[in-house]
Chain A
Amino acid sequence: MDQIVTPRGLICSLALVPNPENRGLFLGLESLLAHLQPAVAGLLLDPMFWCPDTNNCGPTSSSLLEEIITLVPSGLPLWVRITGTSAEQTIYICRQLETVCRQLNYQGPLAWVDTPLFYHSNRGLPEHYRNLLSDTEFTLIADNDPFLIRKIKNKTKRKNIRTAVLKKLVQEPRLVGLVHRGDLGRGINYQRAVRGQPTFLIYDGGERSFLERPSASGVVSVGANLLPQDWRTITLSSLNLDDSYPHQAGRFRHLWESGQRVRTLQKYYDHAPARIIPAVLAAWKLIQKNGHSLTLEDQKAIEWILEHVPEP
């Protein structure tokens, strides 16, 4: 358990394609992992928040985790979403998945990822996390996603984890990181709050905010499913993880072009990544088609991507 579960760098949120005929199973994981593995520092298994059809995907299932951990190369950090619709369900999901890991004697670096405000308020959150962590031997990463919370909660409710609450949360040593989606000001406040915990890392959950003002720890990206090497290039550069060739000819041009590719592509899939990215990957024969219906805008975006992005 001494392996690094929160690496600095690129964390790819896997583009999962549910099998419509067999709920709980996903198509094409093996080839997708082979496509991503050389470029990523870690993987996020996030079916509930990523699937084109949330109702069909549901929270991370035992069967999906089982399938994933038999395919993920040993040593590659794996983050697994455990968020349920209530505190009780979240703890239950966590226990279920933990059981799978024990049964398979999984020894790789693994952390649970949770968006607490999806089912809980700021009040009482430290107690909830203490309960949750008392039931697991793995570490936990919190996810602050005000955009998601805004969609599902009353306008008067808080959309972000309060900074004062985060200060209390980080007292729990097995809460090892935070994925933050949102504005820079709040991100800086969070940084101040966790300053006393140098091993606690804050990742950017928003691709665009990372591209503009990269954080020190890394980014959780869905676009990395399409352009893993470009995402790797700019992530390493942004985090100063690779300055071993500062004078290499063409480095800046290479960086610039990678950045432009990533930015341009992001504009095309940003409105519906869960529909567009799997469709592109399926067209490249990396995964199987999922048969989900696409809008006209989706189809145009997919056509543009297929025309402009070279097939891996």
Chain B
Amino acid sequence: MVRPNKKKIRRSAAEIIREAKDVLRIEAEGIFGLIDRVDSEFAQAVNWIYESRGRVIVTGIGKSGIVGRKIVATLNSTGTKSLFLHPVEALHGDLGMVSSDDIILVLSSSGETEELTAILPTLKDLGTRIICFTGNTESALGRNSDLTVYAGVEREACPLGLAPTASTTAMLALGDAVCVTLLNRHEFQLEDFRRCHPGGALGERLRVPIEAIMRTGSSIPSVPKDTLVAEAIKEMDAKALGATLVIGDTARLVGIVTDGDLRRGLRKYERLLEKPVNSIMSKNPKTIQVKGSVADALEIMEEYQITVLAVTDPKEKLLGIIHLHDLLGKGYIKFTL
């Protein structure tokens, strides 16, 4: 009868802004509306998950399924073992992943989703406990769950209900409420969070500038180029980096002596300790500019199979030194694995 009008109608900025504000207001109210509805059922759900020896298996379909995947991700990253079960795949064998120790979290606004109600009997037979988030507590899902948590909203922002909007936002927020309350009960610490996010921690670490972590001043192992090897070894022992830098005239870096250079010197000279350090040093040592990043330093160390890098300014004046261990374990970017 009526076809969608294909002609595009330009709308005023004021109209668009008003409508956008209405949508945000509706979504915000949707979450506000849940605040007074959080009750003992919710608390019990959190306790069940906390005390469970199994995993939290989240299931839902459509937009609720997408929300479910996000809840799974947040649960996992905050220390609660969780996985997503697609209800259709569940009917075709994936139910095998469910054990009686697991807690099932079912998401459905209507609570009448056929794909979900179809797997309920099997889940019950397995002896798992079922928690549902639904906007209709009197629905089939609500009635057949062990715990029913209300997740409804006052109104949707999308006309005709073409897309769930405020209801999915509310469900997502309720999922976050579960994750955070669990996190607090687990006494989950920053270190634990980093353990769960090596990718994030690595990324964070790699961006740190060299000047933030390099050793400077008296902690730099360094000797003048005419120093005897015996003195150089003392400097290496004192600074404990397995190497010392060799400084030439005008404070410029001319070489480096490492444990490997000492081994090679021992084979070459009988009275090594009495030799000047420049006779065994490696010339033109690898350096990194002070504005470089940890990622740059790691790349150089990996390429040349070395563990120490001198840090210089653009005129090759020595400013500091970094060791591989500094890159991996310095200050707030310390490895926690």
- Chain B residues with Cβ below 8 Å from A310 are 1
- Chain A residues with Cβ below 8 Å from B161 are 214, 234, 236-240, 255
Candidate in B61, B155, B162 with the most chain A CB atoms within 10 angstroms: B155
In the complex, the answer to whether A213 meets B154 with C-beta atoms within 8 Å is no
Interchain CB contact (< 8 A) of B160 among A187, A211, A243: A211
Within 8 A of A (CB), among B72-118: 108-110, 112-115
In the complex, the answer to whether A240 meets B164 with C-beta atoms within 8 Å is yes
- Chain A residues with Cβ below 8 Å from B59 are none
Known: A213-B155, A213-B157. A241 touches B162 (CB 8 A): no
Give chain A nearest CB distance to B70 CB in angstroms: 17
Among listed A36-44, A47-55, A160-168, A190-198, interface-contacting one = A190-198
User: How many residue pairs bridge A and B at CB < 8 Å?
Assistant: 114
How many B residues face the partner with a CB closer than 8 A?
Answer: 38
Known: A195-B36, A241-B136. A261 touches B2 (CB 8 A): yes
In the complex, the answer to whether A213 meets B1 with C-beta atoms within 8 Å is no
Q: A212 within 8 Å of B by Cβ?
A: yes
- Chain B residues with Cβ below 8 Å from A243 are 61-62, 64, 108-110, 112-113, 164
Q: B26 within 8 Å of A by Cβ?
A: yes
Give chain B nearest CB distance to A230 CB in angstroms: 10
In the complex, the answer to whether B159 meets A241 with C-beta atoms within 8 Å is no
Give chain A nearest CB distance to B279 CB in angstroms: 78
- Chain B residues with Cβ below 8 Å from A188 are 25-26, 29, 154
Give chain A nearest CB distance to B79 CB in angstroms: 31
- Chain A residues with Cβ below 8 Å from B150 are 198
Known: A215-B154, A240-B156. A257 touches B26 (CB 8 A): no
Report the Cα distance A298→B115, complex, angstroms.
47
Contact with A along B130-155 (1 / 0, CB 8 A): 00000110000000000000101111
Known: A259-B160, A260-B4. A184 touches B110 (CB 8 A): no
- Chain B residues with Cβ below 8 Å from A238 are 156, 159-161
Q: A149 within 8 Å of B by Cβ?
A: no
In the complex, the answer to whether B37 meets A213 with C-beta atoms within 8 Å is no
- Chain B residues with Cβ below 8 Å from A245 are 114
The closest CB in chain A to the CB of B135 belongs to A240
Q: B259 within 8 Å of A by Cβ?
A: no
In the complex, the answer to whether B156 meets A213 with C-beta atoms within 8 Å is yes
Report the Cα distance A260→B113, complex, angstroms.
26
Candidate in A202, A240, A259, A260 with the most chain B CB atoms within 10 angstroms: A240
Give chain A nearest CB distance to B84 CB in angstroms: 16
Report the Cα distance A215→B157, complex, angstroms.
9
Report the Cα distance A47→B160, complex, angstroms.
28
In the complex, the answer to whether A246 meets B61 with C-beta atoms within 8 Å is yes
Per DSSP, are chain B's interface residues mostly helix, strand or loop, or mixed? Answer: loop
In the complex, the answer to whether B156 meets A241 with C-beta atoms within 8 Å is no
In the complex, the answer to whether B112 meets A242 with C-beta atoms within 8 Å is yes
The closest CB in chain A to the CB of B116 belongs to A244
Interchain CB contact (< 8 A) of A242 among B22, B110, B153: B110
Report the Cα distance A258→B114, complex, angstroms.
23
Q: B278 within 8 Å of A by Cβ?
A: no
In the complex, the answer to whether A255 meets B112 with C-beta atoms within 8 Å is no
Report the Cα distance A202→B155, complex, angstroms.
10
Q: A282 within 8 Å of B by Cβ?
A: no
Give chain B nearest CB distance to A203 CB in angstroms: 11
The closest CB in chain A to the CB of B115 belongs to A244
Interchain CB contact (< 8 A) of B162 among A212, A216, A256: A256
Report the Cα distance A256→B158, complex, angstroms.
12
- Chain B residues with Cβ below 8 Å from A284 are none
The closest CB in chain A to the CB of B137 belongs to A198
Q: A294 within 8 Å of B by Cβ?
A: no
Within 8 A of B (CB), among A215-239: 215-216, 234, 236-239
Give chain B nearest CB distance to A138 CB in angstroms: 21
Give chain B nearest CB distance to A249 CB in angstroms: 14
Q: B167 within 8 Å of A by Cβ?
A: yes
In the complex, the answer to whether B112 meets A241 with C-beta atoms within 8 Å is yes
The closest CB in chain B to the CB of A197 belongs to B36
Q: List 5 A-B contacts (CB under 8 A).
A: A212-B159, A240-B167, A243-B64, A255-B161, A261-B2
Interface residues of B (CB under 8 A from A): 1-4, 22, 25-26, 29, 32-33, 36-37, 61-64, 108-110, 112-115, 135-136, 150, 152-157, 159-162, 164, 167
Interface residues of A (CB under 8 A from B): 8, 184, 187-188, 191-192, 195-196, 198, 202, 211-216, 234, 236-247, 252, 255-261, 264, 308-310
- Additional A-B contact list (5), CB under 8 Å, known A256-B4, A259-B159: A214-B160, A216-B152, A243-B61, A256-B160, A258-B160
